[in-house]
């Protein structure tokens, strides 16, 4: 089993749909002992019910807004587990009103809250986790989203927070790398959960991805969990500071989708989702025609990049 004898803590279990729960369950199936945290009393019962299906779970309260809660979690883990092999940070929050209108209307308080809960918490958690991971090749994993790289309708301040989270994990990877601790994020495709239900027009995003993703379907919790398993296990022992994607949009697989004669203009790769404000809905990016030889040239370059990705495990950015 991939996580035999390992011990990990998973932040962010709200209910059985939570990505955190899918990852916790998968990690436990692969031999890990798990500590789960829940945000508040309202979610405690869910967390305890789910945890009861695991072997010797530790279930702890943690509101990541509170330094004492975070310190308390790691103190208990030190007592109960002695050390720690992995951390899953699957926590994010923004005020509902910030996910409805336009980003330009973000309030100062809404900006602060989104960043405090969704970004700073990873730094605070990593700081407490690091001493417990000494000598154990620890892995810290957070969950991010495409809205931190591209403009996604209504994702607004959460997109800005995800961009900060993506950068935050790279600084953490640099700081903790000398101690043998890896820090990565997994960028999941859209999945229906409690958090995503708060994003206005989320069903449109699901619909768009269903039509645009290379596999022509949305990602499932279990698939996110399997990808997470790779990043938590020693299979990814050489990977840190990275943000792999689970089910990219068609516009993110670059040249592999090009058909000579009808290919999207390169500028449109910057638009994972085109938003028609007048209709308040996602629309298909326009398809423009470019000469066949240009498309063939770009496709050849893409194939070389793809081969390079397979050989080196790197995702190339343009």
Ligand X SMILES: NC(=O)c1ccc[n+]([C@@H]2O[C@H](COP(=O)([O-])OP(=O)(O)OC[C@H]3O[C@@H](n4cnc5c(N)ncnc54)[C@H](O)[C@@H]3O)[C@@H](O)[C@H]2O)c1
Active site residues: 145, 155
Of the candidate spans 52-60, 63-71, 76-84, 276-284, the one that interacts with ligand X by CB under 6 A turns out to be: 63-71
Of the candidate spans 95-103, 124-132, 194-202, 300-308, the one that interacts with ligand X by CB under 6 A turns out to be: 194-202
Give the whole-angstrom CA distance, residue 273 versus residue 264: 13
Give the whole-angstrom CA distance, residue 262 versus residue 294: 11
- Whether 286 and 269 have beta carbons less than 8 Å apart is answered as no
Percent helix, strand, coil in the chain (nearest 5)? 50, 15, 35
- 193 counts as binding ligand X under rule CB under 6 A: yes
DSSP 158-225: HHHHHHHHHHHHHHHHHHHGGGT-EEEEEEEPP---TTGGGSTTHHHHHHHHHHHSTTSS---HHHHH
37/255 with CB nearer ligand X: 37
Applying the rule CB under 6 A, the residues between 31 and 50 that interact with ligand X are 39, 43
124/258 with CB nearer ligand X: 124
144/184 with CB nearer ligand X: 144
Of the candidate spans 27-35, 123-131, 188-196, 295-303, the one that interacts with ligand X by CB under 6 A turns out to be: 188-196
- In angstroms, what is the minimal distance from the CB of 91 to ligand X? 4
Which among 118, 223, 210, 214 has a CA at the least distance from the CA of 160? Answer: 118
- 64 counts as binding ligand X under rule CB under 6 A: yes
Which position among 3, 51, 195, 273 is part of the footprint of ligand X (CB under 6 A)?
195
CB atoms within 10 A of CB 267: 9
- Whether 14 and 92 have beta carbons less than 8 Å apart is answered as no
Q: Compute φ and ψ for 304, nearest 5 degrees.
A: -65, -40
Total residues in contact with ligand X, by rule CB under 6 A: 27
Q: Where are the alpha helices (DSSP H) in the chain?
A: 19-29, 41-51, 67-81, 108-115, 121-132, 156-176, 202-212, 221-232, 292-312
CB atoms within 10 A of CB 233: 21
- 168 counts as binding ligand X under rule CB under 6 A: no
Of the candidate spans 57-65, 75-83, 168-176, 260-268, the one that interacts with ligand X by CB under 6 A turns out to be: 57-65
- 230 counts as binding ligand X under rule CB under 6 A: no
Q: Tell me which DSSP letter residue 247 carries.
A: S
Distance of CA 58 to the CA centre of its chain: 24
- In angstroms, what is the minimal distance from the CB of 75 to ligand X? 17
Q: Compute φ and ψ for 112, nearest 5 degrees.
A: -65, -45
- 143 counts as binding ligand X under rule CB under 6 A: yes
Which position among 91, 122, 225, 273 is part of the footprint of ligand X (CB under 6 A)?
91
- 160 counts as binding ligand X under rule CB under 6 A: no
Residue found under tokens 């001493």: 131
- 103 counts as binding ligand X under rule CB under 6 A: no
- 63 counts as binding ligand X under rule CB under 6 A: yes
208/258 with CB nearer ligand X: 208
Which position among 196, 233, 240, 255 is part of the footprint of ligand X (CB under 6 A)?
196
158/299 with CB nearer ligand X: 158
Give the residues lining the site for ligand X (CB under 6 A). 12-14, 18-20, 39, 43, 62-65, 90-93, 117, 143-145, 188, 190-191, 193-196
């Amino acid at each position: 089993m991939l996580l035999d004898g390992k011990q990990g803590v998973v932040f962010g279990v709200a209910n059985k749909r939570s990505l955190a729960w899918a990852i916790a369950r998968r990690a436990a199936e692969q031999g890990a002992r798990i500590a789960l945290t829940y945000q508040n009393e309202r979610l405690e019962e869910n967390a305890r019910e789910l945890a009861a299906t695991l072997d010797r779970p530790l279930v702890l309260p943690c509101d990541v807004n509170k330094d004492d809660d975070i310190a308390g979690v790691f103190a208990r883990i030190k007592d109960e587990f002695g050390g720690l092999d992995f951390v899953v940070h699957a926590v994010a929050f923004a005020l509902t009103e910030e996910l409805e209108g336009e980003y330009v209307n973000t309030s100062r308080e809404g900006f602060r809250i989104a960043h405090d809960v969704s970004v700073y918490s990873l730094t605070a958690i990593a700081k407490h986790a690091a001493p417990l991971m000494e000598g154990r090749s620890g892995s810290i994993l957070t969950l991010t989203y495409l809205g931190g790289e591209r403009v996604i309708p209504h994702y607004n301040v959460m997109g800005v927070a995800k961009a900060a989270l993506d950068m935050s994990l790279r600084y953490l990877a640099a700081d903790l790398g000398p101690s043998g601790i890896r820090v990565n994020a997994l960028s999941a495709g859209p999945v229906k959960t409690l958090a995503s239900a708060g994003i206005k027009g989320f069903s449109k995003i699901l619909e768009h991805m269903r039509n645009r993703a290379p596999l022509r379907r949305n990602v499932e919790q279990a698939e996110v969990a399997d990808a997470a398993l790779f990043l938590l296990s020693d299979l990814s022992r050489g990977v840190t500071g990275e943000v792999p994607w689970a089910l990219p949009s068609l516009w993110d697989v670059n040249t592999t989708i090009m058909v000579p004669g009808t290919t999207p203009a390169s500028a449109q790769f910057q638009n994972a989702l085109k938003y028609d404000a007048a209709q308040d809905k996602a629309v298909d990016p326009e398809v423009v025609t470019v000469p066949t030889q240009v498309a063939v040239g770009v496709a050849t370059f893409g194939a070389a990049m793809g081969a390079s990705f397979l050989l080196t495990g790197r995702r190339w950015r343009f």
